Structure 1
Amino acid sequence: MKKSSLVIFLCATLVSCTGNSQKELKRYQIKSGIVKYESTINGKVLGSTMSGSGIETIYFKDWGAIELKDEKSTQTTKTKIFGQKKEEIKQTHIVNKLDNGEWFTVDFDNKEIIAQRSLPMDMIAAFHPNADAGDVGRDMIKDLNGKMIGEEDYMGYKCEIWEAMGVKQWVYKHFTLKIESTVMGITTAKKATSIQFDINVPDTHFTLPDFPIKKAANFFSNESFEEDMDMDMESFEEDMDKLSKLSFNEWKKMALADKEDEEMQNMSEKELREMYDMIQKMIKMRKGK
């Protein structure tokens, strides 16, 4: 699901009001590593049969503050309409990089790199500046009615098995080694096939293609954070108070008023509800600080 400009703006504003006394957050309880995965997808949905496979490599250091993911996959969709069969094969290459809160996505089609702030990292830094990022993530899974259903050894690593919203994750020291999910008849799986932890990871593994960098609308530098500190806090708190009193239907009407926001207009009722709940939770978290 894509993030709308409304939530991006709200999150960034909440973050900007916390000041700059944030310590470096640890995403994992592992200093560095190189992990390779294999993935599969299979199932039927709306009369179509889907199948595919992929490979992925994650490189990270500084406890996950710097990380690069390189994923290649192929997916085949077969559809039969009015007796006619149609087959579509889609090949995807995705490269993402996290660098101390800044998120870079490589667009190979347009040969450019999209840069923006990492909202999850900024939210954790804002609302839980003294907490371990992995612990905060685990608490968020619990908020989604998730729970740890057991422990299991995977490739020599003792993992906690967490389940939430139809997704199971095998997690070792906050790092996910295996994922299984079945949603709407589609089964996906990703499992680590090679694991190297606490090793020297050369800087060359974090190098992005030599494409021009395009800053997304929600990309905020430290300078902009400092400028936002001068905002009218009284007006800000009033706006947050008004948002907290909106019902879901009232908020939805306001959110869909901008017809030019394609991402928002294309969201399902469920996605809109999830976004509303997330906004309300963020407001409560701010009031409780």
Structure 2
Amino acid sequence: MNKMMVLLSVFNLLMLGIFAQTSNRFAVKSGHIEYKLTGNITGIKSVWFNDYGYNSYEETRVKRVTIMLGVKSESTEHKLVIITGTEVYHIDLLDKTGTKMKNEFSDLSQQLISQMTEDERKQMGKELLNSMGGNLVGTEKILGKTCDIVEVLGTKSWIYEGVTLKSEGKVMGIEANEIAVKFEENIHIPTSKFEVPKGIVIEDLTQITHDLMVGTYDENGDYIENEQKYGNDEEMDVAEVSYLFEDFKKVVLDFNPAGYTRGMILNQEGQHFALYMKGMNQMVTVIATSMENVDSQESEFSGFEEFTHHGRTMRYGLLEEDGTTSNALLIKYNNHDMYIILMALPANDKNTLLNWADGLDF
């Protein structure tokens, strides 16, 4: 894998992980909720969280009833999920075993949200709901809290400041309902609440899940050695861009592609990234990378059109990755020894990218 593909793969992994995490943040700093569960799964659920959901503790004691081909079966479960920042523990309290995994994108997703204004966060939430085919159908009070009632994917949820206080759903004949019977908001929760209980045997799956995320297993589940996947270390190296990150931020903060909401601005792997979103499936990205990363990989851009626009050398073309088509405009800045890559996913038209490029002044 060459330098340019490493660069774009790093970015794609970041964005996919961030989107997966964005909906898990609360607008409530801390809380304790007790739920009653009914339907095919009956029992109780207890939830504690602080730091707006960055740390959480969720314990369930349930009896699960299933009917398969007319045969009824029942099972009892007592499980616990603890999230402490980037670490996620899934624990079976009946057999005293559990697993530990690392959430590669938790810090980045929190950074994404912290960089957005309140209006941008609300807009992003609406776009996320729309992208999932969801509808806001009304409001209702649960435990004295005014909740938005949201219908999405066959489930109706009553949501207060990002916290679900009630839900009703029936999928493939399985009914699952929960309602909060107690909710304490913005309370002190000791850090010890988010510690793994004593006597639990934990299997650390951190490296395995990391390898799966970066593609160290092929589609058949067979392990691929790093040398086979990436080649030698020299091929993997991505040169750092010399343009200052603070100067990059000043430019992209003034860049506003119409219809898109600004997401996050970050430096990763020595490159600068800025993300703009329209819903959860349309992205515009601005990437600042060293000229070395592009010029050393001419074959990757052999099909790109090269031209001059407003006195600056540019390249334009399509990028295909895992069945997804995006397009990219590469803008050469000799005075900064860098390229600005303006990329749209899904692919947009060339003139739109050129108009966006005119709004960037490095």
TM-score range, shorter chain: 0.5 to 0.7
Which residue of structure 1 aligns with residue 75 of structure 2? 90
State whether residues 74 and 91 of structure 1, in contact with CA within 8 Å, keep that contact through their aligned partners in structure 2: yes
- Answering whether residue 13 of structure 2 is matched by residue 28 of structure 1, we say no
Counterpart of 1:153 (choices 141, 162, 167) is 141
1:5-16 maps to which residues of 2 (within 5 A)? 14-15=13-14
Q: Note closer, same or farther for the CA distance 1:72–1:219 as it changes in structure 2 (3 Å cut).
A: farther
Deviation at 1:180, TM superposition (A): 0.8
Contact residue 38 and residue 177 of structure 2 kept, 8 A: yes
* 8 Å Cα contact 2:25-2:52 kept in structure 1: yes
Gaps of 5+ in 2: 1-8, 18-22, 212-237, 239-267, 272-291, 301-317, 326-343, 357-362
C-alpha spacing 1:70/1:118, structure 2 compared with 1 (3 Å)? farther
Note the C-alpha offset of 1:137: 4.6
1:92: how far off?
Answer: 1.5
Say whether residues 1:284 and 2:282 are aligned partners.
no
Shift of 1:175: 0.8
Contact 2:154–2:171 at 8 Å: present in 1 too? Answer: yes
Q: CA deviation digits over 1:133-180, x for unaligned, max 9?
A: 974455322211112110111110000111111111101111110111
Report deviation, 1:229: 1.7
Q: How does 1:248-267 map to 2 (within 5 A)?
A: none
Alpha-carbon distance between aligned partners in 1 of 2:12 and 2:321, rounded to the nearest angstrom: 14
SS of 1:200's equivalent in the other structure is: coil
- Residue 243 of structure 1 pairs with residue 336 of structure 2: no
CA contact (8 A) 2:147 2:158 kept: yes
Which structure has the highest strand share of the two? 2
Q: Map of 1:1-289 to 2, 5 A cutoff? A: 14-15=13-14, 27-41=25-39, 51-79=40-68, 86-108=71-93, 109=95, 111-117=97-103, 121=106, 124-125=109-110, 130-131=115-116, 135=122, 136-210=124-198, 211-216=201-206, 217-219=208-210, 229=269, 241-243=319-321, 245-246=323-324, 284=345
Taking a change above 3 Å as real, the CA distance of residues 112 and 75 of structure 1, as seen in their structure-2 partners, is closer
Indicate if the aligned counterparts of 2:84 and 2:194 stay in contact, CA closer than 8 A.
Answer: no
Q: Supply the distance in 1 between the matched residues of 2:85 and 2:57 (Cα, whole angstroms).
A: 12
**1:177-229, CA deviations, whole angstroms, 9 ceiling, x for partnerless residues?**
01111222222111101111111112332221233350332349xxxxxx982
Q: CA deviation at 1:68?
A: 0.9
Percent of residue pairs identical = 20
- The one-letter code of the counterpart of 1:116 is K
Q: 1:26 to 1:212 in 2, by over 3 A?
A: closer
Residue pair 2:324, 2:346 contacting (<8 A) in 1 also:
no
Cα shift at 1:102: 2.7
**Partner-residue secondary structure (3-state), 1:242:** strand
The structure in which a higher percent of residues are helix is 1
Structure 2 CA distance for partners of 1:242 and 1:203, relative to 1, 3 Å: same
Q: Which has the higher contact order (CA 8 A, sep 6+)?
A: 1
SS of 1:153 mapped into structure 2: strand
Deviation at 1:71, TM superposition (A): 1.0
Residues 229 and 212 of structure 1: CA distance in aligned 2, closer, same or farther (over 3 Å):
same
Q: CA deviation at 1:244?
A: 6.0
Give the aligned CA root-mean-square deviation in angstroms: 4.1
CA distance in 1, matches of 2:144, 2:41: 28
Q: How many residues align?
A: 218
CA distance in 1, matches of 2:66, 2:41: 9
Q: Aligned-pair distance for 1:128?
A: 5.6
Q: Does the 8 Å contact 1:148/1:161 carry over to 2?
A: yes
Amino acid at match of 1:218: T
Counterpart residue type for residue 92 of structure 1? E
Residues 233-259 of structure 1 deviation map (CA, whole Å, 9 limit, x = unaligned): 768xx6x93226459xxxxxxxxxxxx
Q: 1:245 to 1:127 in 2, by over 3 A?
A: farther
Larger Rg: 2
Amino acid paired to 1:111:
T
The residue type paired with residue 86 of structure 2 is G
Mapped partners of 2:150, 2:96: distance in 1: 38
